[in-house]
Structure 1
Amino acid sequence: MTPGTTTPELRSFAAQFASSPRGAQLARRLAVRRMEEWGHPPESDASCTVALVVAELAANAVQHGRVPGHDFSLRLTLDAATGLTRIEVADAATTKRPPTAPPSSHPEGESGRGLLLVDVLAVRWGTEPRRPVGKTVWAEVAVSS
């Protein structure tokens, strides 16, 4: 894990995780812990929102972006000046990209709601290429100080 940078207005955290369900769970837990260190207790709206978005993006990285021998990474950046936390989850899969808009899902289906949830919770979200290989899915969520 890489310790994050911290300034009064900009704080960040980055880490790599095994591309497994356990890795996704650990990413969510560490995101909640980091939010608490940044002044947002686990039960706060900000922490719960970040936890849900991290959980969805990490689960997607594990399920759809897994490439044998490669981990996924998480980066959180809290910008106090803008009131936003940026969540970035990067994996090594280049051919599997999420749709530009969340897919509609069947109300009784067991999957397909992850990006819909991200779309509702985030101010904005998207994808970008990851160098040298893969993609990064990011979302920005509003947090109050």
Structure 2
Amino acid sequence: MSTVRADLRTDLTGFNEDLIEALTLCTSELVANTIEHTRSGGSGGRVLRALFESEPGVLRLVVVDDGARESAPAIPTDRTEQEWLTAERGRGLLMVDMLASRWGAYPVVPFPFCADLGMAVWAEFALGGAQR
């Protein structure tokens, strides 16, 4: 995971430190989820990370997995306040939701019979005055 963070920081050289921190946290979470919940975490597994300006003033992070996700990534919604206080897992996407302007996921190939070919999870961040 340290290589992922270091590569991202290199790609973001010259950007605002707050943006770099938010993107680093979100990237770490999305890559960790990919490794834990998909074939990407297995032998020979791959994770693709892309970063680009999706529209003027908006930086988009995309993390693509190798597939076999049982469902689309989602923030747990069936927890009580007490369960949230004691939960050891499931907060990562909530963090992404709070740090990114918006986020979502889509299948790499949008056909039902190709559902196990991978999922792309994306998050967008407003550049504002943060661009180099």
Tell me how large the CA RMSD over aligned residues is: 2.0
State the Cα distance separating 1:50 from its structure 2 match: 0.7
In the alignment, structure 1 residue 123 sits paired with structure 2 residue 101? yes
Instruction: Answer whether contact 2:105 2:121 (CA < 8 A) is retained.
Output: yes
Which one scores higher on RCO, CA 8 angstroms, separation ≥ 6? Answer: 2
Question: Among residues 64, 81, 85, which one is paired with 1:107 in the alignment?
Answer: 85
In terms of fraction of residues, the more helix-rich structure is 2
In terms of fraction of residues, the more strand-rich structure is 1
State the Cα distance separating 1:117 from its structure 2 match: 0.3
Paired positions, count = 116
Provide the rounded CA distance (Å) in 1 between the counterparts of 2:102 and 2:32: 19
TM-score (norm 2): 0.76
What pairs up with 1:9-48 in 2 under 5 angstroms?
24-36=1-13, 39-40=14-15, 44-48=17-21
TM-score (norm 1): 0.70
Provide the rounded CA distance (Å) in 1 between the counterparts of 2:73 and 2:65: 16
Structure 2: any 5+ residue segments left out of the alignment? none
In structure 2, the CA distance between the partners of 1:30 and 1:75, relative to structure 1 (3 Å rule), is same
CA deviation profile, 1:94-138 (whole Å, cap 9, x unmatched) = 4333344x2246122221110000011111111111147111111
Provide the rounded CA distance (Å) in 1 between the counterparts of 2:11 and 2:73: 29
CA deviation profile, 1:14-54 (whole Å, cap 9, x unmatched) = xxxxxxxxxx3322221111101xx216xx11101110110
